[in-house]
Structure 1
């Protein structure tokens, strides 16, 4: 059974960890330094472990203190959100919301949607981070994650929403095509310079081609002259006339409209990775989360479900 004793000292502990000293924490909480010190001592005694390394000149968290701090800040944030959500006036999105976005897709596609949404709600405080690594909403403390690529099996603790798919096309610069000619068949690519995506471990992503049957996709390894481990880097390389690349259409939409890149082999274009919204189910009822999920789902998906 839950005991209220477990909450005692948590606010003091978090304040000391944030401030870096008993004196600063005491000033923040309008307590004496002695009261702060005794509160930490009682908490450490109850937990049976030291939370801080103490010297005459410094104060730092132990390994156990770091782990406990992460848990406590999450608990306090959840309590704050629960209290805010009880007030009727807070049906409007407000407060800090942390959104995790993949690099290029996040900047070009998701960020404009979030900024338009935030401009409608003055009390919303977006915290937007960009990373192409796997982000766990619960472990990393992120409210909403926009994820490229999905999973067939999702944990019960996570909510998820499929919003659409990328559309992968082949493209090159007009200057390159003027010099080397325009490929008409997949076999023509053998006589062209290809620019491929490469992973940090040295692996090169194969290209996907539409098969002869509807919905069929063939994946083939290619002999790439240039290997670039970044989507925007690929765009720079193909725009410089270095060869032909296969890219998601959303990444080169502006270049195609301006004519600095040209689509080739349109009959071989294919569906790409799925785009999903992922969040912790425990936070779904918060207005700032539920409303932003709806805004992202509507803003990212054009007609047909292809994210272009």
Structure 2
């Protein structure tokens, strides 16, 4: 037998009101209807739930157990309805986003204005930094991170949205002057644009030819992607950069790929949220919008290395 939620509501209201007459007033229905529905419920259950006379209205022992479970069922039903309605509610409010500098420069700068247009009731706040940000302590809703290694375990929800190949690039003017390297070993005779004084070697991999470590001549050092990209475009030397960040410059002919087939590893991009804030309609809408944007970017380059992945064992 399937119980009717309306009957449970009537029964709970009758108990909470202390009688059929008061419940009828609160529910806006005849007292006789309340009495008949409770009687039908007892008949279906083959159990007396209430002791009622002209002077008393009391739960039986089975009635007390039934009342507690009926009340819990109504609360869960209300929560289920609320959850669905929230998903259809228009996202609104302030959503605070922290992002690594490359993610802000090469992705969010293009997509956040479109996101703001799509959801006019949202106010977006972006903070770009490569330092570790504690979402909970610093009051952020979303973090967008580029990372070469797995992120450390935490209580955050993680959604990996992209894996990008790191490729070798240089300006046509540099290659015309210094020649195109035909083999990774040739890079030792070329100017390298490096990320740090200590990271002077590039570890390159080819699916058929394996892995090799090479050290170009250090020409320029910068720990910021856009600076290295512009240095490469100016003809200073060869740089190792994420492919997506190079896309626009390559399309405009400012740089070209060097040693196609060889890569310097991969960089992943993940979106992180807290369990509680991640359920808010505004935060959820931003996460979904950005995830689709990352997916479209990777599809455009033809380099979707694996499907989008979401984990509840988050990393931060």
Q: Shorter chain as normaliser: what TM range? A: 0.5 to 0.7
Measured at CA, do residues 286 and 164 of structure 1 come closer, stay the same or move farther in structure 2, by a change above 3 Å?
A: same
8 Å CA contact 2:166–2:243 kept in 1: the answer is yes
- 2:161 and 2:213 map into 1 onto residues whose CA distance is 24
Residue 202 of structure 2 corresponds to 207
Q: 1:188 Cα deviation (Å)? A: 0.6
- 1:126 and 1:210 map into 2 onto residues whose CA distance is 40
1:186 to 175, 184, 187: 184
* 1:248-267 alignment runs, 5 A limit: 248-267=242-261
Q: 1:142 Cα deviation (Å)? A: 0.7
8 Å CA contact 1:195–1:234 kept in 2: the answer is yes
Greater Rg, structure 1 or structure 2? 2
1:268 to 250, 262, 268: 262
Q: 1:152 Cα deviation (Å)? A: 5.4
* 1:112-123 alignment runs, 5 A limit: 112-123=110-121
8 Å CA contact 1:217–1:270 kept in 2: the answer is no
Q: 1:197 Cα deviation (Å)? A: 0.9
Q: 1:105 Cα deviation (Å)? A: 2.3
Residue 6 of structure 2 corresponds to none
Q: Per-residue displacement from partner, 1:97-133 (whole Å, max 9, x unpaired)?
A: 0011111321221232222122111110111111111
Q: 1:153 Cα deviation (Å)? A: 4.6
Q: 1:244 Cα deviation (Å)? A: 0.9
* 1:110-189 alignment runs, 5 A limit: 110-149=108-147, 151=150, 153-155=152-154, 157-189=155-187
8 Å CA contact 1:171–1:262 kept in 2: the answer is yes
8 Å CA contact 2:102–2:146 kept in 1: the answer is no
Residue 21 of structure 2 corresponds to none
Aligned length: 218
Residue 290 of structure 1 corresponds to 284
Residue 92 of structure 1 corresponds to 90
- 1:105 and 1:98 map into 2 onto residues whose CA distance is 15
Q: Secondary structure at the match of 1:252?
A: helix
**Which blocks of at least 5 consecutive residues in structure 2 are unaligned?**
1-81, 307-316
Q: Secondary structure at the match of 2:268?
A: strand
Large movers: runs of 4+ above 6 Å: none
Measured at CA, do residues 167 and 295 of structure 1 come closer, stay the same or move farther in structure 2, by a change above 3 Å?
A: same
TM-score calculated relative to the size of structure 1: 0.64
**Which blocks of at least 5 consecutive residues in structure 1 are unaligned?**
1-84
The alignment yields a C-alpha RMSD, in angstroms, of: 2.5
TM-score calculated relative to the size of structure 2: 0.63
